[in-house]
Homo-oligomer: A and B are copies of this chain.
Amino acid sequence: MSFAKLDQLGHRLESLEHAQSMLSVDEAVQMPAGGGEKRAEAMAILAGMYHELATAPHIADWIAEAETESLDAMQRAALRERKRVYTNMTCLSAEFVQMQVGAQVRSQQLWRELRPMGDWKGFLPAFEGIVTLVREEAQLRSEVLGLSPYDALIDQYDPGSRQADITPIFSALKTFLKGFIPQAMERQRAGMDKPLNAPFAIEKQKALGLAMMKAIGFDFEHGRLDISHHPFCGGVPSDVRMTTRYETGDFLSALMGILHETGHGLYEQGLPKQWSHWPVGKARGMAMHESQSLFVEKQIARSREFWQWAMPKLLEHLGEGSIAGWNIDDLMVHVHRIEPGLIRVDADEATYPLHVIMRFELEQGLVSGGLAPKDVPDAWDHKMKDYLGLSTIDNAASGPMQDVHWPSGAFGYFPSYTLGAMMAAQQWAAIERKNPDLRGDVAKGSFDAVNTWRRDNIWSKASQFSTQEILTQATGEPLQAKYFISHLKQRYLS
């Protein structure tokens, strides 16, 4: 039976993925610097072996044969996702991929070198090469997938998501935010008059983070928390490896980072175990993944109700004197700070979408050819001034050179962040309709109901359906901007 052959192939691929994931985690968490060269060699060779195994021509025959076999609904979904992944992996030639990966590695290395100086001119030739190859990639994928070139790229990160669906939602959000941000800033307390009583010992921050992870539902039998330079959530669903980075001067950044990654971790831990070796058993895509991390970070952990429960825990772990004399309002000033800034990753939940939307708009031009790479700094500056009132001209380091995505050839990824934020708000609203005392639960530190809902409606669905289908089944309607907008109004204007 061909389905059985594909099942066996899945186990082999999963084992290689397991090795690749864990080697990446180890590299970030444990590996001494001198181990890097051989690690890179091993990773490259394992990636080649994986690609060879996953794109072998006989797989197309197995898929075609399996489509004629008698399968149940889940098996049919599994076959459809395997076919989708196979099509996506085989629509570029090995030569093209090799050339592109080489260019991306060189461009990323150059970017790392030139970014601190904001040397856009030095970086531009490499970036032009990347954009040329991305256009070519988009064209090649477009032909096979029957999608527009930019949609073919978005589809790599958020399968089923289309520019035509995203654009009106992002437009509505942009219009709202341009009015909302000044309003919300006017209402917020002018200064953060009670500074954090630093330092906060790393061991204490860690204990606090672990306690929060546990309360939120992270399963430490199947995962752990470590330290790395760039926080991430990696590993495999049966063994989720989260990391954070502590600063002794501020406990909030590590704690919020931990809660964000916990959201990713819960999704991974909640995927259906018996399908872990098939694409259908994996997380749906970057937008849905981000919806789960933002659900925990923004919907739960930046709510006032969360801090009603969490503030005593915080004092318990960091010590009574850590934020001496603070009440919850003082804390919420920090948790709810809105402040337009140049850097996306440092942005609050209100200004963040504008960073994403401008990248989404610029990407469309870059992929279509309407925007030349050399014109990016001007276009960037124009949009930053328009959306956030800040200029980045002559500051490429904090402008178009700030993100790793473009230098590494990842176009079509950015929308996921804000789609995720909107999905999280829509999910929260759906849960609250079902359970009007949801905020009361959070204030008691009870996260069972939200986790049960998400397990049933999101995590266990894995990749059985498209992002839109999962969201619609779960919340009763396709993605809307209004829930995110209501969320912001409720939190910052009410």
User: What is the bound-complex CA distance between A12 and B46, given in angstroms?
Assistant: 8
For A276, list chain B residues within 8 Å (CB): 38
Q: A119 at the A/B interface (Cβ < 8 Å)?
A: no
- Is A248 in contact with chain B by the CB < 8 A criterion? no
A222 to chain B, nearest CB (A): 4
Which residues of chain B are within 8 angstroms of A222 by Cβ–Cβ distance? 32, 34-35
A-B contact pairs, 29 of them (CB 8 A): A12-B45, A14-B42, A15-B42, A15-B45, A15-B49, A18-B23, A19-B19, A19-B23, A19-B46, A22-B22, A22-B23, A26-B26, A26-B30, A29-B30, A30-B226, A32-B220, A32-B223, A32-B239, A33-B221, A34-B221, A34-B222, A34-B239, A35-B222, A35-B223, A35-B236, A38-B236, A38-B238, A38-B239, A39-B238
Contacts of A219 in B (CB 8 A): 34
A193 close to B (CB within 8 Å): no
A240 CA / B451 CA spacing, docked (Å): 41
A165 is an interface residue with CB less than 8 A from chain B: no
User: Within the assembled complex, what's the spacing in Å between the Cα atoms of A61 and B33?
Assistant: 39
| A42 vs B21: C-alpha distance when bound (angstroms) | 12
B residues in contact with A375, CB < 8 Å: none
Tell me if B239 and A45 are in contact (CB < 8 A): no
Query: Measured between C-beta atoms, what is the minimum distance from A264 to chain B in Å?
Result: 17
Closest partner residue, chain B, to A13 (CB atom):
B45
The answer to the question of A374 belonging to the interface, with a C-beta cut-off of 8 Å to chain B, is: no
The answer for the CA separation of A276 and B23 in the assembled complex, in Å, is 19
Give the CA-CA distance A389 to B135 in the complex, in Å.
81
Enumerate chain B residues within 8 angstroms of A95, measured Cβ to Cβ: none
**Bound complex: CA of A33 vs CA of B26, how far in Å?**
17
Interface size on A, residues (CB 8 A): 37
Cα distance A432–B46 in the bound complex, in angstroms: 46
- Complex Cα distance A23/B14, Å? 14
- Interface: A214 (CB within 8 A): no
A41 in the interface, Cβ–Cβ < 8 Å? Answer: yes
CB distance from A51 to the nearest CB of B (A): 13
- Docked pose: A148 CA to B18 CA in angstroms: 41
Interface string of A1-30 (1 = CB under 8 A from B): 000000000011011101100110010011
Q: Which of A443-481 contact B (CB under 8 A)?
A: none
Please pick, from B18, B37, B220, B221, the residue contacting A39 in the complex, using a CB distance under 8 A: B18
Q: In whole Å, how far is A4's beta carbon from the nearest beta carbon of chain B?
A: 16
Q: Which of A231-276 contact B (CB under 8 A)?
A: 235-236, 238-239, 276
CB-CB contacts below 8 Å: A333-383 with B: none
A46 to B15, CA, bound (A): 7
Question: Assuming A19-B42, A22-B22, what are 14 further A-B pairs, CB within 8 angstroms?
Answer: A11-B41, A11-B45, A12-B45, A15-B46, A15-B49, A18-B39, A19-B23, A22-B23, A32-B223, A32-B239, A34-B221, A35-B235, A35-B236, A37-B238
- Are A12 and B221 in contact (CB-based, < 8 A)? no
In the complex, chain B residues whose CB is within 8 Å of the CB of A38: 18, 236, 238-239, 276
Q: Point out the residues of chain B lying under 8 angstroms from A239, CB to CB.
A: 31-32, 34-35, 38-39
Q: A76 vs B31: C-alpha distance in the bound complex, in angstroms?
A: 34
> Which residue of B has the minimal Cβ distance to A35?
B239
A35-B239, A39-B18, A238-B37 in contact; A224/B46 too (CB < 8 A)? no
* Whole-angstrom distance between the Cβ of A12 and the nearest chain B Cβ: 6
- A26-B22, A39-B18 given as contacts; is B221 within 8 A of A32 (CB)? yes
> Given the complex, which residues of B lie within 8 Å of A236, measured CB to CB?
35, 38
Q: Which residues of B have CB within 8 Å of A12? A: 45, 49
Q: How far is the CB of A15 from chain B (nearest CB, A)?
A: 4
Neighbour of A15 across the interface among B14, B18, B41, B223, CB < 8 A: B41
A37 vs B30: C-alpha distance when bound (angstroms) = 23
Question: What residue in chain B is nearest A277 (Cβ atoms)?
Answer: B41
In the complex, chain B residues whose CB is within 8 Å of the CB of A226: 30
Residue of B nearest to A45 (CB): B15
CA distance A23 to B235 in the complex (A): 12
Q: Are B23 and A224 in contact (CB under 8 A)?
A: no
